[in-house]
Chain A
């Protein structure tokens, strides 16, 4: 589902990722870990084409992402749900509208949008805040809204960048459970985190990023 072949990425002169190769199978749930600044976010950005690789090839589903035309990028992104590290919630729209936006761009009938958004808000247990504006939510609540927005359109791939960044252990647990559930429904899930507790004892593949390379791949 996601395939990197000898991918390198530079920001100006600075190398961020060097000669990265890995494959994530359809339906897999995998982790990327590494210290801050290792390039986790950059790696995810390459997948949804917010950055282009300087070398190598990236294939996501049937798209050759590095060579994608501008006009095709939206169609790739509609198949990739993203939980952004910085949330990217619109503060002038309610929780409901923030999540609904991911469906509005699909030209979906309003009735269907309403049903789907209500269902997903219930799933992430944030229904009671549907009409609140994001700045009035706690960090954990905002995190759940972002997850809801990423999963509402039932993407084939879900990318989560530090989804438990500043949450307590208990909330982290509910969120990881959520990802497991999404994955169990067939979505390929890739989670970037520096929180080891997230993948300990999961039996999933973990890619360790260090010094611009995948230092090792483990099964935790």
Chain B
């Protein structure tokens, strides 16, 4: 414990003593992490939007006109047993007409021309999130269409597939960008700590001769790398927060749709950057210090 405190003091002193190199390193790390966080924020928001829409997303099953109550119940029964179906909503033709009237508002008078209700009764099926893959949904729609008493099945196929593709691309992009930033930060801390290590080579040599253990020698460098990483991460989170607040305040003036999309930025978005900085900083300094031989 005392060794830890002593190492921390040494690390803090070195952090202060070499403040310009350290500042540069912290800046590089924060820029890397900022790019990554920004990218992830966008991904997260798109994913969020996707989720929200998918909740409303459903298959609308239109039934043949004049289908008997028994046949309707039979269909309902089938849907209830389907593991992919989350919710079922029955919309009788009267209600459909009612809704259409409401939707048309003042123009609803055009409906007066119909003698009978032209709208079919329908089921609205909402699907589980896992089942919302374009090819699965398509197959399901196809299946339902074959059923007795089903006139037609409708769903937003274009939307679904393009959103899914976008989300997939972004996820892969995050992965690639994440790896690149990860490697870059490890490298940046590696070179910084390596410089410090060489500068203190004499001191390390003396410590070894006095009987210092390897962990005693390593710890200050590891802590310094860790601190640099955390500082870089915290800086990037701060900037991200600032940017986000700015966008939320200003963007709706120019781009009203942005506020609807950019709503989602929970606290957990700010935690990974310092954490990632800590891990990568630690790793970089660990590699820099390397194997200590007596």
Q: How near does chain A come to B286, taking the closest CB pair, in angstroms?
A: 17
Looking at B3, B207, B210, the one whose CB has the most chain A CB atoms below 10 A away is B210
Closest to A105 in B: B212
0/1 string, B200-215, CB within 8 A of A gives 1: 0011011111111110
0/1 string, B1-12, CB within 8 A of A gives 1: 011001000000
Residues of A within 8 A of B3 (CB): 104, 107
Closest to B206 in A: A88
Where chain B touches its partner, the secondary structure class is helix
A84 to B208, CA, bound (A): 13
Q: Does residue B254 face the partner (Cβ distance < 8 Å to A)?
A: no
Q: Does residue A74 face the partner (Cβ distance < 8 Å to B)?
A: yes
Residues of A within 8 A of B20 (CB): none
Identify A77's interface contact among B203, B205, B209, B214, CB under 8 A. Answer: B209
Q: Does residue A49 face the partner (Cβ distance < 8 Å to B)?
A: yes
Q: Does residue A82 face the partner (Cβ distance < 8 Å to B)?
A: yes
Identify B209's interface contact among A75, A88, A109, CB under 8 A. Answer: A88
Q: How large is the interface on B (under 10, 10 to 19, 20 to 34, 35 or more residues)?
A: 10 to 19
Q: A49-B294, A104-B6, A107-B3 are in contact. Are A74 and B206 (CB under 8 A)?
A: no
Does B212 contact A109, Cβ atoms closer than 8 Å?
no
Q: Does residue A138 face the partner (Cβ distance < 8 Å to B)?
A: no
A101 to B213, CA, bound (A): 13
A109 to B3, CA, bound (A): 10
Closest to B216 in A: A105
Q: How near does chain B come to A75, taking the closest CB pair, in angstroms?
A: 7
Does A105 contact B209, Cβ atoms closer than 8 Å?
no
Identify A101's interface contact among B205, B207, B214, B294, CB under 8 A. Answer: B207
Does B294 contact A70, Cβ atoms closer than 8 Å?
yes
A83 to B210, CA, bound (A): 10
A105 to B215, CA, bound (A): 10
Q: A90-B206, A107-B3 are in contact. Are A78 and B211 (CB under 8 A)?
A: yes
Q: Does residue A108 face the partner (Cβ distance < 8 Å to B)?
A: yes
Residues of A within 8 A of B208 (CB): 74, 77
Q: Does residue A71 face the partner (Cβ distance < 8 Å to B)?
A: yes
Does B209 contact A84, Cβ atoms closer than 8 Å?
yes
A158 to B13, CA, bound (A): 32
Residues of A within 8 A of B213 (CB): 71, 74, 105
0/1 string, A73-89, CB within 8 A of B gives 1: 11111111010100010
Does A105 contact B203, Cβ atoms closer than 8 Å?
no
Does B207 contact A82, Cβ atoms closer than 8 Å?
no
12 contacts between A and B (CB under 8 A): A50-B209, A70-B294, A71-B213, A74-B212, A77-B210, A78-B211, A84-B209, A88-B205, A88-B206, A104-B3, A107-B2, A109-B2
Q: Which 10 A-B pairs have the closest CB atoms?
A: A77-B211, A78-B211, A105-B212, A73-B294, A74-B211, A88-B206, A74-B213, A107-B3, A102-B210, A107-B2
